[in-house]
C-alpha cells in the first residue's frame, strides 16, 4: 500500500474494484495542464513569502515543464494507484526533483486544488463557447442578410399564420444565441474566483498570499469563505444550465431544419457533408446532424440534473461525492463545443428554395390578418373586421381559392369600404413590408438587424 499518498495510516489495501471505483485519473487527467498551471502559481507564491527557496521553485518549474512535455508526448505513465491527476503529477515531480517536489503541497489540499483546476478548465471552455456562439451568430446574420426579402409562411401551432421573411426567421435564432452568450459571460464571472488557499476546508496557518495567486492565474478575485470555496459546484451547475439552454435552442433549430428539408416541405437543402444516406433505400438523404444535435440535447439536460442532484444533500465542506462533478461537466462542454462548431458551418451550407417557401406562403390565407387590419384602417372595430374576414376565408375555402383571387366586387360583398388598393395589402410583399418597426419582419428591418449583428460579431 506504500504507493498511496496517505498510506501510512492504513493497515490493509483496498481491493482492485474499490481502487477503480474511487479513482478519477481515468477522466481527470484532461485537467493536467491547468493542474500544473495552478501548482506553478502556488509554488511561486510559496517562494514569495519565503516558505520555499528560490532553488526549490526553480526545480519545481523545471520538473513541471518536463512533466507537461511527457504528458503532451503521451509518455507520461498514469497510474490508477495514485487515484487522480493531482497525485499522479505530484508523485512524478518528486521522482524528478526530490524534496523540492515534496514541499509543493505546503498550505494546500487536493480539495482547493481540484476546485481551482475545474475553474481554470471551465473558464477556457466558456471562452471557446463564446467564440463559437459569435461565429454561429455571424453566419446566421450573413444568411439572413441574403434572405431579407425571401418570404415563407410563419407558423403558429404548425399552421400557416402570417408571412415572414426567412431572414427574420433566422435572426430569431441569432437572438437566442445572443442571450446564451450573455448567460455564459455572466456565469464566467462566478467561475473566475480563486478557491486556492482554502486548503482542505479551514484555510491554512501559513501566511499565504492568495491575491498574488489570483493575479498569476488571471482570477478576478478570491473566494471569501474557505468552506464554501472547496465544496460548492454551483458555478458548474450554472454552466450546465447555460449549456442546456444552448442545446435547447440548437434543438429547436434542428427540428426546423429537419422539417424544412423534408420533401413534403422542401424549403431548404442541407449540404451533403451534414447528411448521410440509407444502407437499404438508395434515394435517401437524411439530416443526421440536426437529428443528432436534437438527440444530444437530452444528455446535456441530464448532466444539469445530475449535478443539481449531486450537490443537493452534501453537508459542508468537501465530500468525495464531488469527484462525480467532472464527467458530466466535461461532456456538456464537449457537446456544446462540437455542436456549435458544426452548426456554424452547417448554416453556411443551407440552400434556400425560395420558390417553395413562396408557394407555401400563398396557401393557408397568410394575409387574412392584413385584410382585417385594412378594414380597421377604414374605420371598423378590430373584432368586427376579424369576423368579416373570417367569413371571407370561409367563402374562399368553399371556392377553393385564395383571398387575393377574389374579385373586387366579391371582396366588396364582405364590406363596402374595400377598394382597389386592397390588392397591395393582400400580397405577401405588402404584408411583410408593412411590419416595419423594431423587431418586425419587414425586409428593411431585417437588413438593419442583420447588419447590426454582422458588425457586432465581426472578428
Ligand atoms: N479527485 C478528487 C476530486 O475530484 C480530488 C479531491 C480529493 N480530495 C480528497 N480529500 N479525497 O474531487
Q: Is the CB of 110 under 6 A from ligand 1?
A: yes
Q: Report the separation in Å between the CA atom of 320 and the middle of ligand 1, taken as the mean of its atom positions.
A: 6
Q: Using an 8 Å Cβ cutoff, are 357 and 152 in contact?
A: yes
Which pLDDT value is given to residue 283?
Answer: 84
Q: Is the CB of 24 under 6 A from ligand 1?
A: yes
Q: Is the CB of 320 under 6 A from ligand 1?
A: yes
Atom index in ligand 1 nearest the CA of residue 84 equals 1
Ligand 1 mutation pick, 111, 122, 198, max ligand atoms within 8 A of CB:
111
Write the ipTM. Answer: 0.97
Residues lower than pLDDT 70 in the chain: 1-7
Q: Report the separation in Å between the CA atom of 113 and the middle of ligand 1, taken as the mean of its atom positions.
A: 9
Q: Using an 8 Å Cβ cutoff, are 318 and 18 in contact?
A: no
Q: Report the separation in Å between the CA atom of 398 and the middle of ligand 1, taken as the mean of its atom positions.
A: 73
User: Which of the four CATH numbers 2.170.190.11, 1.20.1530.20, 1.20.200.10, 1.10.540.10 does domain 111-118+141-146+167-207+221-358 have?
Assistant: 1.20.200.10
Q: Where are the domains of the chain?
A: 16-106, 111-118+141-146+167-207+221-358
Q: Domain 16-106 class?
A: mainly alpha
Which residue(s) pair with 159 in the sheet?
A: 156
DSSP letters spanning 135-148: HHHHHHHHHHHHTS
Q: Using an 8 Å Cβ cutoff, are 170 and 177 in contact?
A: no
User: For ligand 1, atom 4, which residue shows the shortest CA distance?
Assistant: 323
Q: Is the CB of 114 under 6 A from ligand 1?
A: yes
Q: Is the pTM of this model over 0.80?
A: yes
Cell 385584410 locates to 371
The catalytic site residues sit at 157, 278
DSSP letters spanning 14-36: PPHHHHHHH--HHHHGGGHHHHH
User: For ligand 1, atom 2, which residue shows the shortest CA distance?
Assistant: 323
Q: Report the separation in Å between the CA atom of 86 and the middle of ligand 1, taken as the mean of its atom positions.
A: 9
Q: Is the dihedral of CA 105, 110, 115, 117 positive or negative?
A: positive
Q: Report the separation in Å between the CA atom of 322 and the middle of ligand 1, taken as the mean of its atom positions.
A: 7
Q: Using an 8 Å Cβ cutoff, are 7 and 32 in contact?
A: no
Amino acid at each position: 500500500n506504500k504507493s498511496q499518498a496517505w498510506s501510512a495510516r492504513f493497515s490493509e489495501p483496498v481491493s482492485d474494484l474499490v481502487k477503480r471505483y474511487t479513482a478519477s485519473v481515468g477522466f481527470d487527467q484532461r485537467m493536467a495542464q491547468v493542474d500544473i498551471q495552478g501548482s506553478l502559481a502556488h509554488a511561486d507564491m510559496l517562494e514569495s513569502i519565503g516558505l520555499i527557496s528560490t532553488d526549490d521553485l526553480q526545480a519545481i518549474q523545471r520538473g513541471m515543464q518536463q512533466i507537461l512535455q511527457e504528458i503532451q508526448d503521451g509518455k507520461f505513465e498514469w497510474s490508477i494507484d495514485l487515484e487522480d491527476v493531482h497525485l499522479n503529477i505530484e508523485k512524478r515531480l518528486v521522482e524528478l526533483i526530490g524534496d523540492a517536489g515534496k514541499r509543493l503541497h505546503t498550505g494546500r489540499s487536493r480539495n482547493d486544488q481540484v476546485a481551482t483546476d475545474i475553474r481554470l478548465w471551465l473558464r477556457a471552455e466558456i471562452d471557446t463557447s463564446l467564440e463559437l456562439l459569435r461565429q454561429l451568430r455571424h453566419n446566421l446574420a450573413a444568411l439572413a442578410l441574403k434572405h431579407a426579402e425571401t418570404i415563407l409562411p410563419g407558423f403558429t401551432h404548425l399552421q400557416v399564420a402570417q408571412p415572414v421573411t426567412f431572414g427574420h426567421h433566422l435572426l430569431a435564432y441569432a437572438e437566442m444565441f445572443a442571450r446564451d452568450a450573455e448567460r455564459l459571460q455572466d456565469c464566467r464571472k462566478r467561475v473566475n474566483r480563486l478557491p486556492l488557499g482554502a486548503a482542505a476546508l479551514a484555510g491554512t496557518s501559513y501566511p499565504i498570499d492568495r491575491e498574488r495567486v489570483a493575479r498569476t492565474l488571471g482570477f478576478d478575485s478570491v473566494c471569501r469563505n474557505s468552506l464554501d470555496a472547496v465544496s460548492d459546484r454551483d458555478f458548474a451547475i450554472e454552466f450546465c444550465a447555460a449549456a442546456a439552454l444552448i442545446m435547447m435552442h440548437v434543438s429547436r433549430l434542428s427540428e426546423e431544419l429537419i422539417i424544412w428539408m423534408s420533401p413534403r416541405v422542401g424549403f431548404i437543402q442541407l449540404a451533403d457533408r451534414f447528411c448521410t444516406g440509407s444502407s437499404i433505400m438508395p434515394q435517401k438523404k437524411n439530416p443526421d446532424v440536426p437529428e443528432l444535435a436534437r438527440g444530444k440535447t437530452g444528455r446535456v439536460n441530464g448532466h444539469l440534473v445530475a449535478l443539481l442532484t449531486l450537490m443537493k444533500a452534501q453537508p459542508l465542506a468537501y465530500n468525495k461525492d464531488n469527484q462525480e462533478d467532472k464527467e458530466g461537466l466535461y461532456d456538456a462542454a464537449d457537446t456544446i463545443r462540437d455542436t456549435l462548431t458544426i452548426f456554424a458551418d452547417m448554416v453556411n451550407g443551407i440552400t434556400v428554395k425560395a420558390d417553395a417557401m413562396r408557394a407555401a406562403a400563398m396557401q393557408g390565407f397568410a394575409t387574412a390578418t392584413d385584410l382585417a387590419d385594412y378594414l380597421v384602417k377604414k374605420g371598423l372595430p378590430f373584432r368586427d373586421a376579424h369576423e368579416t374576414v373570417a367569413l371571407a376565408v370561409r367563402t374562399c375555402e368553399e371556392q377553393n381559392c385564395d383571398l387575393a383571387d377574389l374579385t373586387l366586387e366579391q371582396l366588396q360583398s364582405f364590406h363596402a369600404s374595400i377598394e382597389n388598393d386592397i390588392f397591395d395589402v393582400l400580397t405577401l410583399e405588402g404584408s411583410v413590408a408593412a411590419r416595419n418597426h423594431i423587431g418586425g419582419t419587414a425586409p428593411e428591418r431585417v437588413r438593419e438587424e442583420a447588419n447590426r449583428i454582422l458588425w457586432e460579431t465581426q472578428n
